[in-house]
Chain A
Amino acid sequence: MKEENIEELERQFQEKIDNDIKIEPRDWMPDNYRKTLIRQISQHAHSEVVGMLPEGNWITRAPNLRRKAVLLAKVQDEAGHGLYLYSATETLGADREDTIDDLHDGTAKYSSIFNYPTLTWADMGAIGWLVDGAAIMNQVPLCRCSYGPYARAMVRICKEESFHQRQGFEIMTTLANGTPEQKAMAQDALNRFWWPALMMFGPNDADSPHTAQSMKWKIKRHTNDELRQQFVDVTVPQAELIGLTVPDPDLKWNEETGHYDFGPINWDEFWAVVNGNGPCNKERIDARRKAKEDGEWVREAANAYAAKKRTKKAS
């Protein structure tokens, strides 16, 4: 294609974006837009699927039947989210199995929060409340993402995430109102998950080189720091409400800005975990790899059986 043509196509593309017209799979799009989306959506899909593991860890030990059912339903929802999101990457020409292989060999990333262990039942509360809570902050704006299939998947996903957030907060509330042991368990979970939850919004804006382009393409609507601030502002009063203490000595309400000020994030820890050196990185990837390897004969059998059925029909 001639260069003027590409320029013209790019101009028309940006015009659509500026007018809030959704980009659909068959529409022309710049290569980088496609690549950025594939990277972002597949990371999101991997996060949903890897995220099943820390919570799946407590299903067989849930303290009563109601909590067990709610947790099962939640983890099942996360698998469903993974599935819609992998389908969304496929509309961009990515292959689901190739994308998953990228996760397994470490080329693709996922939300680093899932590399922290779930040590007590209270972690089910902390994850629902903080991790799904942070996911909602990140994802609600994505319902207006310029890429149609991603935006539509997010609408459905966000509804379920807000149910997850509520059940997590409900677990924390019950523990916080419980015995001293239960309250200590809840506080300990908050202590361990607070900072990793803040890290879920990604590096500070100054260290986030792709943000400007993503905002221009309306893949992203707010910067990392804006979303993180919004999360802190919403979550701190919730912690206060149930009598838990946010583990940040610098946290305080700022009358002037109308926001909470909070202490510095340990970015060394963030990068260490992103780069594979968190407490459970190896376990998580090993578990996903094992699921794929152990399932290989099942997938082969399903394909072989389907092929036999087709030949029978044809003959």
Chain B
Amino acid sequence: MNHLFEYVLRLGDDSLILGHRLSEWCGHGPVLEEDIAMTNIALDLVGQANSLLEYAANVEGKGKTADDLAFLRIDKEYRNLILVEQPNVDFGHTMMRQFLFDAYRKILFEKLLESGDEQIAAIAAKSLKETKYHLKHSSEWVIRLGDGTEESHRRIQNALDTLWRYTEELFYSDEVDESLRASGVLPDLSSLKQEWTNYVHAVLNEATLEIKEETWYFQNGRQGYHSEHLGYILAELQFMQRAYPGMEW
């Protein structure tokens, strides 16, 4: 297995699939300002996916493009977190999903600035700026909804309860990470989970929300075992490329 390819794919697929989910909101947001904000975040994520998948394709060295990777793999070849493929449900679920992911992504990108791989460090630097804004936006909404009305508290607590089982996977690590750590591509990521936990707890606390620990955590996305939702995402995402193979658009 090409570990660098595998790692960059994981990063790229997270951006791609979450960007897809967020873009489903376009035109349906709770206020026009949020339509703009969510579309903007989706746009950033699609941009990140493009840079990351382009790099992954280079690393793979089989002459593929970012689009080939984005649109022409089968479900088992996608490496995204199960968290990011979860449905939008309502604005509360969407913001909670975003918050849990953004907090992880911001800390990860900060660490990846120190990557021994120049490309990864450069993509992390560019994406970090965007991700800081995404995290500010999602954190503020989690607090507002948690400490807003009774209804909003109930809904966002419900979102947290539903999504918490997907958070352990944020810290999934296997031989890919180990070998890249050994070769100096990855910096020391051992404090990622603690830093994430500290930040997330502080925000949830301010939002008056409670974490209910789970007995079952999902973490097979990185190996290509997904929830049932991914198949439907791919059916839409890949529709044009599958229906009209090999054409320029």
Chain A residues packing against B (C-beta within 8 Å): 49, 52-53, 56, 59-69, 72-73, 75-76, 79-80, 82-83, 86, 121, 171, 174-175, 178-179, 181-182, 287, 290-291, 294-302, 304-305, 308
Between-chain CB contacts (< 8 Å), 16 pairs: A60-B20, A60-B23, A64-B71, A75-B27, A83-B36, A121-B240, A171-B249, A175-B249, A179-B244, A181-B244, A295-B34, A296-B30, A297-B155, A298-B31, A300-B151, A304-B149
B23 touches A182 (CB 8 A): no
Using Cβ atoms and an 8 Å threshold, which residues of chain A touch B28? 56, 287, 290-291, 294
B111 is an interface residue with CB less than 8 A from chain A: no
CA distance A27 to B143 in the complex (A): 42
CA distance A83 to B33 in the complex (A): 8
- Which chain B residue shows the least CB distance to A58? B240
What is the minimal beta-carbon distance from A170 to any residue of chain B, in angstroms? 10
A60 touches B36 (CB 8 A): no
B90 is an interface residue with CB less than 8 A from chain A: yes
List 15 other contacts, CB 8 Å, given A63-B249, A305-B144.
A52-B26, A59-B24, A60-B236, A72-B23, A73-B43, A75-B27, A76-B35, A76-B43, A80-B36, A182-B247, A287-B27, A294-B30, A297-B151, A300-B148, A302-B148
B149 touches A178 (CB 8 A): no
B224 is an interface residue with CB less than 8 A from chain A: no
Chain B residues packing against A (C-beta within 8 Å): 20, 23-24, 26-36, 39-40, 42-43, 46-47, 49-50, 53, 66-67, 70-71, 90-92, 143-145, 147-149, 151-152, 155, 236-237, 239-241, 244, 247-249
With A65-B70, A182-B247 in contact, do A298 and B152 touch (Cβ < 8 Å)? yes
CA distance A56 to B208 in the complex (A): 35
CA distance A305 to B146 in the complex (A): 9
B32 touches A49 (CB 8 A): yes
Contact of B240 among A63, A287, A299 (CB under 8 A): A63
With A56-B27, A76-B40, A300-B152 in contact, do A174 and B32 touch (Cβ < 8 Å)? no
CA distance A86 to B71 in the complex (A): 38
Contact of B31 among A121, A299, A305 (CB under 8 A): A299
B26 touches A59 (CB 8 A): yes
What is the minimal beta-carbon distance from A149 to any residue of chain B, in angstroms? 18
Contact of A56 among B26, B50, B53, B148 (CB under 8 A): B26
Most buried by B among A61, A67, A86, A297: A297
Instruction: Tell me the interface secondary structure of chain B in the complex.
Output: helix
B152 touches A63 (CB 8 A): no
CA distance A76 to B34 in the complex (A): 10
Contact of B247 among A49, A60, A179 (CB under 8 A): A179
CA distance A72 to B45 in the complex (A): 11
CA distance A171 to B27 in the complex (A): 22
- Which chain B residue shows the least CB distance to A179? B247
Contact of A308 among B26, B92, B147, B151 (CB under 8 A): B147
CA distance A262 to B218 in the complex (A): 63
Contact of A178 among B53, B91, B239, B247 (CB under 8 A): B247
A298 touches B147 (CB 8 A): no
- Which chain A residue shows the least CB distance to B28? A291
CA distance A52 to B28 in the complex (A): 9
A291 touches B148 (CB 8 A): no
What is the minimal beta-carbon distance from A242 to any residue of chain B, in angstroms? 15
A60 touches B30 (CB 8 A): no
CA distance A294 to B225 in the complex (A): 33
Contact of B50 among A65, A79, A300, A302 (CB under 8 A): A65
B249 touches A295 (CB 8 A): no
CA distance A296 to B28 in the complex (A): 12
B237 touches A61 (CB 8 A): yes
